[in-house]
Structure formats: structure tokens, C-alpha cells
Structure 1
């Protein structure tokens, strides 16, 4: 059989032999795409404005909308947390993780992870430009922002980066407890970063929901591809060449 036919048959065989976890993840990705499209449609039509406004106003003092309902130390903490979803921190995390995987002799996963995260960032930018939703003006912003609003870049990029890092780094770990910790850490960071954007008044709740949804779908899709097509190199493997 010619080489191209063997490669095609190998790909078909892989898709036809999904494990239950693979099927569940595929279904979740498909459902997430539909949910994001539905939410985007509602946002464009303006049907979510009342919900968004109510949530943002509930986080501020009625007498002065410039003041959050929580003590000042919470506002300071939220500013620190939101920085974890900024491009600088996410870029550093990505570079360090890629270097770690190269040192761990997991070159294929390292390259795929870098490409996955870069691709997710490009998709986030494209979605923002496509929807072109202005930033909320319901309450004063507690940090400076300049770009568009939907989906939340911090929410989506943190989901893309931290969830993808967790999912692909876990492929280099042999212990289940370590893999679970990595995924839990990725989910936790994604959630608190998204919530910080609401607290600071720079995003509508639906912006954050859209960012979480799109980012999680991207990360899950990347994990699914890696699971099917990228073999984990054994610990201590000696590279050839």
C-alpha cells in the first residue's frame, strides 16, 4: 500500500477508535461551540444587556458606583489576579512550560502546545474584531482598558493558556494525582481571572462567559488532538541525532 494511503488509513483508524473520554470531550467541544454561537447571537442582538447591567451594578455601592462593595484590599487583590491573565504573564508561563517540556524530552508536545496557544490568541483577537462590542460604561473602570469587549480577552486567553498548559503538561506526568492537580490549578486560575474582570468593571458578565466558553472549547479541542495524534515520549528517552 502506498505511503499516503497508509497515512490516511492510520488517521481514519484513530478517529474510529475513540475511547469514552475522547467521545465525551468531543461532545463537550461540539456543545461548547453551539453554546458560544448562541451567546454571541444574544449579545449582538442586545438581549443580555439587562442581565449584564444588574450584575455589574450589584458589585458597586449604590451611593457611589466608583466604589466596589468589598474592602479596598479586595480591589488590590483583584488587580493582582487580573494581571495573571495579561499577555506578559501568559507569555512567560507559555515559554517556561515549553522549555520544561523540551528538557523533559517531550518535544512533540512542547511544539504542539506553543502552536495551540498562539492559535488560541489569534482566534481571540479575531472574535473581538468580529463582534466589535464596546466596553461597558455602566460603572467606572478600576483599571485602564482600550480594546473591545466580547469575548473577554483575559477570560479566553487565560482559559486557552492555563487549560492548554495543564492538559498538555499532564501528558508528561505519569502520576494521576499530578495530572488532576494541574487541571484543577488551570481551571481555578481561569475562573478567578475572569471574575476579576467583572469586579473591576471592565467587562460584562456575558463577555467573561463567552471568553470562558471559547477558551475551554479551544483547550479541549487541542487536548483531544494531542491525545489522538501525539505520543508521549517515555521518561528518560535518549534523543536520536
Structure 2
């Protein structure tokens, strides 16, 4: 009986695709990191680390002035807008329309609902932790909500990674699928880093946003892979 059970488990494991194993590992690892970060943030163990990073991004004699050339602040402001609700909503609607026109109705509906669910989760997590915004350096943009996890980092991960994962399922060529995934990862990283440069989030806020968003996107990909057809209707 035990030998048969081992054989069944081995056969099941061998049927998993490498990408499926990677996505499952991403889901599990991201969840573990997010839970760990949440615990140490609530306990106040990251305060010194967070402040050191934020101060390193400002001029030594004047924390109101960020490091780098004068045009960098404007460029970072443009990048951080890619993680705002307006841009993310536009990207989601356009991607949904594209999939509908391509006949991928099931993926279109699932993708739209997945991103909407991720946005709702982000707001619930913020309310649950209720961490105030950093005040050690002046903010370079106006912010009014809570800090943990970073909404821009998490929503960018939820939106861009989910878009990349589900749009790539509708593509025939491997190179196109890789391009979608690489673009989603790049945009997610840039938006998160921009929040640090602008002084509106602690580093642990951004890392937690990345972890939560990546876990959500990976989970959506796994569900879509199992239950949602990638063929045109």
C-alpha cells in the first residue's frame, strides 16, 4: 500500500510542468515572506533598516532633496504614476477588451475579476496593519492613506503580473509569452522602487506589496491554468 502511494505521488509530480512548479513555488514563497514581513513590521523590528534606506536616498545635509540629477525626480514621478489607479484601470480595461475581441471571453472575465479582487485585498491589508506613512523624510508627492503594504507596489504586481500571466496564455509563441512576463516584472519593480525614492513608503512596505501581489498573481495563474481555457470561443 505504501509503495503504491509513493508511485502515485511520483507520477503526479512528474506530470507537473516546470512552469507550474515555478508558479507554485512563487505562490508559497511570496506568502511566507509576506507573513514574515507583516510580523516583524508589527513588532517594530524593521524601523532602523527602513529609515536607513530612506535617508540614503536623500542628500546628507538636506533630507528634503533626493539624490541624483534634477530630472530624476520628474522621471520617477512619471514612473510611479504607472502604479496609480487611473493607469492600472486603463490597462485592465484595454487588456480585457483585447481578450474579448480575440474571442478569449473566459480569460477576459477571469482576468478582470482577478485584478479587482487583488485591489480589494490590498485595501483590506492596509486597514488590518494600519501602519502610518514614513515621516523621516519629506514626501515628494501627496499621499493620504496608510502605508503597509505599499498600494502602488501591490497593485502593480497584481495588475501587471496578472495581465502578463493571463495574456501570455492567449499567445502562441514562447518569445511573446516571455516578453509579457518580463514586462510585467519590470514595471512592478520600477513602480515599487519609485515609492522609496519619493519617500512615501518604507522599504518593507514595498517588499510586502511585491510579495502579496506576486502571490495573488501566481495563484490566479494556477487557477486559470487548471480551469480556464486559453482557446478562442
Report the TM range for the smaller structure's normalisation: over 0.9
| TM score, norm. by length of structure 1 | 0.89
- Following superposition, the deviation at residue 72 of structure 1 comes to 1.4
Q: Is 1:176 aligned to 2:185, yes or no?
A: no
Match of 1:131 among 117, 129, 132: 129
**Does the residue aligned with 2:177 lie in a helix, a strand or coil?**
helix
Match of 2:187 among 182, 186, 189: 189
- Could you list the runs of 5+ residues in structure 2 that have no partner in the other structure? 1-11
1:1-241 map, 5 Å: 18-234=16-232
| TM score, norm. by length of structure 2 | 0.92
What residue in structure 1 maps to residue 3 of structure 2? none
- Following superposition, the deviation at residue 23 of structure 1 comes to 2.9
Aligned residue pairs total 222
Q: Distance in 1 between matches of 2:16 and 2:217?
A: 18
Q: Distance in 2 between matches of 1:58 and 1:33?
A: 29
**Does the residue aligned with 1:102 lie in a helix, a strand or coil?**
helix
- Could you list the runs of 5+ residues in structure 1 that have no partner in the other structure? 1-13
Q: Distance in 2 between matches of 1:44 and 1:128?
A: 12
- Following superposition, the deviation at residue 134 of structure 1 comes to 0.1
Superposed structure 1 runs of 4+ greater than 2 Å apart: 14-21
How large is the RMSD of aligned CA atoms in angstroms?
Answer: 1.5
